Structure 1
Amino acid sequence: MDGKGARTRPQRPDFHVLALVASGRGSHIADFETYLLGEGDVVWIRPGMVHRWSDVDGVDGPLVLFRPGFLPDLGPTPAWDLSASATWHLAPQVQPLALLAADHLRGEHDLAVRVPHLASPALLSHLLAALVLRVLPGEAATPAVSGRRHREVFGRYQAAVEEHFMEWHQVADYTRVTGYDRRTLTRATCAATGVGAKEFLDQRIVLEAKRLLAHTDLPVSRCAQRLGFRDAANFTTFFQRGTGKPPSTWRTADARAARPS
């Protein structure tokens, strides 16, 4: 599928990339973090993430690509959380069950390709849901009841941030659309992520800035405009406060980690 080695170049897909490592060892870079891969690992790249398969020649396992909206609504899970890790490890007893679910999905998909009149999008969708539920981190299946209120508040805040972070840079902007005051948002965000509401918002803006700097050739001034800053100077100050480096320096140095050597 990849004779020219395109997978080693930075990608920013608008679809989900779900991979299970059945055997072998390698590494993968997602949103500028390097993840070592081994048997039993799951990789989930959500739409919009910048990633590249940096070292997977020795890795084998199922790879599933699917568009947003194809998977049935499973409620909030770590897989949808843009701040969650792109990789986690399955318990040994779960690994064969996950591969079995992937094999079932692949069998139905292959049949749909060979015999189109037998294709069933609904069946494929539910088989994908079964695979996802099998590979989710264990704590996602039985969340602590005591944190339900915080999860609800944070879920609304996170969704609002994802929709508006390119235009709204202050927590006060989100109190109106979520219906919660700043203190409530801060408590819930801290309980869910370990950082306050403002830091969570700033981290999301910085992440998008890194993605633009690494995956596009846009000048810093255009990146600033895309992210809702009045001018490049304000953006540079904000970015340097969050990363320790101005955007141009980060682009020529740290962003190389996302590019093939």
Structure 2
Amino acid sequence: MENGHSPVRQLRYLPAVGSSYGVEVMDFAALRAMDPHRRRALPQRPDFHVFALVGSGAGSHEDFRPYRLAQGSAVWIRPGMVHRWCDIDACEGPLILFRPAFLPGFTAAETSAPVCWQLDGQRLDLALFAADHLGREHRTAARSPRLASPPLLSHLLAALILRALPGTPDRTGATAAGGRSTEVFRAYRDAVEEHLTDWHHVADYARALGYDVRTLTRATRAAAGTGAKAFLDQRILLEAKRLLAHTDLPVSGCARRLGFRDVGNFTTFFRRQAGMPPAAWRATRV
């Protein structure tokens, strides 16, 4: 798509021969081999999930926010997310592509996990083991369709992601205060994802979730290293940048899409967060 600002490749889910089960298992080496012209470094928007683990090596990925990739990095790209693989020449590890409906029953808490996070050595080993199991079953399904089981592939994928998700140990109830704080943050983060175009004040989320603003602030600072207001503002800013860079909407249209009733308020917000007005920021992306 050419929108006058940045070209964005629209990537459709086109499984390889023998992989028509809603999931495909590959690796960074295969991605490099199938992309000799390095189009992966240009902005792209997939209509499917990409879940990747860096088993070794280093590189970088970007979704307006730069992410340094190293051994133990996990990356989860959701459908519709504009992103690019800036540098994965030295990265090794599995990449799993799957359709949005391939993981039924996953809650908003799972699907709103960060784009990129880090696993320690033991959790990385277990996640790579789970990915290898999924890969073996996927290859078996491709070679011997009579042995194929989409439900089994779906369960193995769910097991892999649950093993790799940040904060997974808290789900076991092994911690009390820390686990409680994490759950408060997850509830807040999920609500932000759902209502960021409607609610621009932490107090709105506090009322809806049944917490006070101070509780949300403490939980967000513990989990994300920033206050609840800054977390909300940065998420709105990220969505604003996506609209400005990858659509032809005028600034006023972006403001309305994000729930700002007045374009002046949107401009003030954007200038305060990004250091320049939205039109000037958009011009830098040309």
Identity within the alignment, % = 60
TM-score (norm 1): 0.79
* Correspondence list, 1:1-261, <5 A: 1-35=34-68, 37-71=69-103, 80-81=111-112, 84=114, 86-91=116-121, 93-137=122-166, 140-142=168-170, 144-253=175-284, 255=285
Unaligned runs of 5+ in 2: 1-33
Q: Is the 8 A contact 1:32 1:51 kept in 2?
A: no
Moved more, 166-175 or 184-193: 184-193
Task: Give distance in 2, aligned partners of 1:80 and 1:42.
Answer: 14
In structure 2, give the amino acid aligned to 1:60: E
Residue identity opposite 2:175 in structure 1: A
Moved more, 209-218 or 199-208: 209-218
DSSP-derived class of the 1:17 partner: strand
CA distance in 2, matches of 1:195, 1:25: 27
Change (3 A) 1:57 1:236: same
Alpha carbons of structure 1 residues 247 and 41: separation in structure 2 relative to 1, 3 Å: same
Which stretch shows the higher mean deviation, 230-239 or 94-103? 94-103
Question: RMSD of the TM alignment (CA)?
Answer: 3.0
Query: In structure 2, how many angstroms separate the alpha carbons of the residues matched to 1:194 and 1:100?
Result: 31
Query: Residues 210 and 144 (structure 1 numbering): CA distance in 2 closer, same or farther, change over 3 Å?
Result: farther
Maintained 8 Å contact 2:73/2:116: no
Paired positions, count: 250
Distance 1:68 1:31, change over 3 A: farther
Q: Deviations over 1:162-206 (max 9, x none)?
A: 111112222333344323343443343334334333332222111
TM-score (norm 2): 0.73
Q: CA deviation at 1:134?
A: 3.7
In the aligned structure 2, how far is the partner of 1:187 from the partner of 1:106?
Answer: 40
Cα–Cα, structure 1 residues 31 and 16, in superposed 2: closer, same or farther, change >3 Å?
A: farther
Structure 1 stretches lacking a partner, 5+ long:
257-261
Residues in 2 aligned to 1:67 and 1:10: alpha-carbon distance in whole angstroms:
20
Query: What is the one-letter code of the residue matched to 2:118?
Result: W
Post-superposition offset of 1:223? 1.2
